[in-house]
Amino acid sequence: MIEVKNLYKIFNQNKKNEFTALENVSLFIPKEQIVLLKGVSGSGKSTLLSIISSLQKPTSGDVIVDGEHIAKLPDLHASKFRNEKIGYVFQDFNLINSLNVFHNVMTPLIVQNLSKDEIKAKVINALSLANIKHKKDEFVSNLSGGEKQRVAIARALVCDANILLFDEPTANLDKQNSLKFLSLLEDFKKLKKTVIIATHDSIFEQSNVIFETINMQDGKIV
Amino acid sequence: MFNEVLLSNEVIIYLVSQTILLILQIFALFWVFDILKNWDFNSTKPKQYILEKKSYLVMLIIFFALIVKIALIPYFAYVIDNLSNIVPGAMCAAGVISANDYGVKLLALKVFIVFFNSIWIIVNSEDLKEKNYPYIKIKLYFFMFIFFLVLIEYILDILYFTNISLDEIVLCCSVIFGVQGENTLPLGLDTTKLLILFYLFYLLNIMANISKQALLSFVVNIIFLYVAYLSVVEFFGTYIYELPTHKCPFCMLQKEYYYIGYLLWSMLFLGVFYAISSFVLKFLIKKELAYTYKYSIIFNTIFVLICTLYVGVYYLKNGVFL
């Protein structure tokens, strides 16, 4: 369950270039549902995702994830929360080009103090879920956009996070790969994940697993 | 005013470091006032979020300053030891520290500050382990107290180094601690009784720490600190110097004695510190930290072992005691 209460995010506050990215945003996302956050570029979708994932602190307001006030968490605990509960797939994937697929997916597990065998089992499982296991030894620089996205999804799944956040997941994909992504959503539904997708792509209207579409404009929910 | 003391590289480095640390702590202090005045963890208003962000930076600055100040203590000992080359009559830090009225007071204050800094660092680490900053106000008030001591220390630093005369001969260890046969021990103690007390309080110390009796451990360690200091100066030190008349707490910091003084005194400080901190932390944050008892036993044991080994090795080499 994700609850956002009266959230504001103002960049460069009290400066000439002050910009309000989020203005009094309140929303409620039930557990195990897939929700679409829709809006044009600059409407505040990515900022909202980054605050829900505790990558950023709000200017004011509260974010409660599974009963925890995550906007109030000190940095150390915020990192732990992110590592354990959030799987984040960035618009440009943020993969490490100098590492192969296996090692990219492994990175969130480094801090978890697991044995080599446990790490291997988790990575292989995540790669299988994201249908990219066959490329595990490839360097990510050699992969296509769709494959890179699958690696990023595997990395998001590897810690068994219950909440998956996608920032413009189809922005860098062709139509065929975008449709493949839609079919992945059904898998997430089966895996009982809570999913938030920030997008302006109308392709998601074809999916029948979307629980709710939240529209955003100029930092507000409309 | 700018005599050779103030122009020595070691003193310049030391005073510049102290000045930088003081400036850092003054910056932190301004924010500390703001945090203490407006902190309300349950608030989700902009001011609280700003304070939470600021507190992270402030704690980092304070932590850095306090850690460096702890590291500066052995450096201070090294500085005054080095000054013995230019202060007439001084053969080691003992002569330099007693070169004016400020030296001993400054040294004592520094030991207290290191102790309080270390307590602050433990409270800070406990606070960071929690999600709701439970000890933030305690550690900030505690920092204000430390800052007050640091300010006095800084003034004493300046007064001390600017008042070391190079024209007057100072008294050094051989004169301070007398010649063989003269009993300088308090309370009518002789060396045998002192050694009995030394090992007795060490055993009491172990027992108090094993049974996790914070108050008992606190009292025993305060006494042990005093007894251990006297024992090293009066007895064990003579085995380090291999000279029965050489009774000095500072010469052992020198190269000739393999800098063993740094290890010896730091083990004693750490052993006593962890024992005292168990009690202080229980009082300050109402929390018992099991590792403090364990570390106290470890460091005090290393200290006692080093002391005892010097005597044992001397006996094995020479077949007699001093």
Burial of A219 (C-beta count, 10 Å sphere; 0-12/13-18/19+) = buried
pTM, 2 dp? 0.84
pLDDT tens for each residue of A101-157: 999 999 999 999 899 999 999 999 999 988 899 999 999 999 988 899 899 999 999
Distance from C-alpha of B309 to C-alpha of B236, rounded to nearest angstrom: 9
* Residues A8 and A61: beta-carbon distance below 8 Å: yes
With b meaning 16 or more CB within 10 Å and e meaning fewer, what string describes B138-159? bbbebbeebbeebeebbebbee
Nearest to B250 by CA among B10, B2, B83: B83
Alpha helices by DSSP H, chain B: 9-38, 46-83, 93-97, 102-129, 136-162, 173-176, 191-210, 214-231, 237-241, 260-285, 290-318
Contact A71 B131 (CB under 8 A): no
Residue type for A22, please?
L
Name the residue type at position B88: P
Contact B122, B68 (CB under 8 A): no
Q: What's the rounded Cα separation, in Å, for the pair B160 and B108?
A: 13
Instruction: Among A40-54, B67-81, B154-168, B182-196, name the one with the lowest average pLDDT.
Output: B182-196
Separation CA B288–CA B242 (nearest Å): 43
SS3 B222: helix
**Touching check for A62 and chain B: CB below 8 Å?**
yes
Confidence of residue B168 (pLDDT cuts 50, 70, 90): confident
Mutate to test the interface with B, among A51, A72, A75 (most CBs of B within 10 A): A72
For residues B261-282, give the mean pLDDT.
91
Q: ipTM score of the complex?
A: 0.84
pLDDT of residue B167: 82
Q: How many CA atoms lie within 13 A of B142 on its CB side?
A: 25
Within 8 A of B133 by CB-CB distance, chain A residues are 74
Instruction: Tell me the nearest-neighbour CA distance from A176 into chain B, angstroms.
Output: 44
* Cβ contact B44–A61 (<8 Å): yes
The three-class DSSP label of residue B286 is coil
Greatest pairwise CA separation for chain A in angstroms: 54
Average pLDDT rounded to a whole number, residues A181-199: 90
For residue B132, the chain A residues in CB contact (below 8 A) are: 72
Q: What average pLDDT does this structure show over B33-45?
A: 93
CB-based contact B56 A58, cutoff 8 Å = no
A74 contacts on B by Cβ (under 8 Å):
52, 56, 128, 131, 133
Question: Measured between CB atoms, does B46 come within 8 Å of chain A?
Answer: yes
What whole-number percentage of chain B has pLDDT above 70? 95
Q: Does A13 touch chain B (CB under 8 A)?
A: yes
Q: Is B41 on the interface with A (CB under 8 A)?
A: yes
Would you state the CATH architecture of domain A2-221? Answer: 3-Layer(aba) Sandwich (3.40)
Q: Are A43 and A218 in contact (CB under 8 A)?
A: yes
SS (H, E, C) A132-200: CHHHCCCEHHHCCHHHHHHHHHHHHHCCCCCEEEEECCCCCCCHHHHHHHHHHHHHHHHCCCEEEEEEC
SS3 content of chain A, % helix, strand, coil (to 5): 40, 25, 35
B181: pLDDT strictly greater than 80: no
For A63, A67, B127, B184, the CA distances from A77, given in Å and listed in that order, are 15, 15, 12, 56
CB A167 within 8 A of CB A91: yes
Q: For residue A4, give the chain B residue with the closest CA.
A: B44
Better-scored residue on pLDDT, A37 or B176: A37
Domain boundaries, chain B: 9-162, 179-318
Establish if B49 touches chain A: CB-CB under 8 angstroms. yes
**DSSP-derived 3-state class of residue B135:** coil
Q: Where are the domains of chain A?
A: 2-221
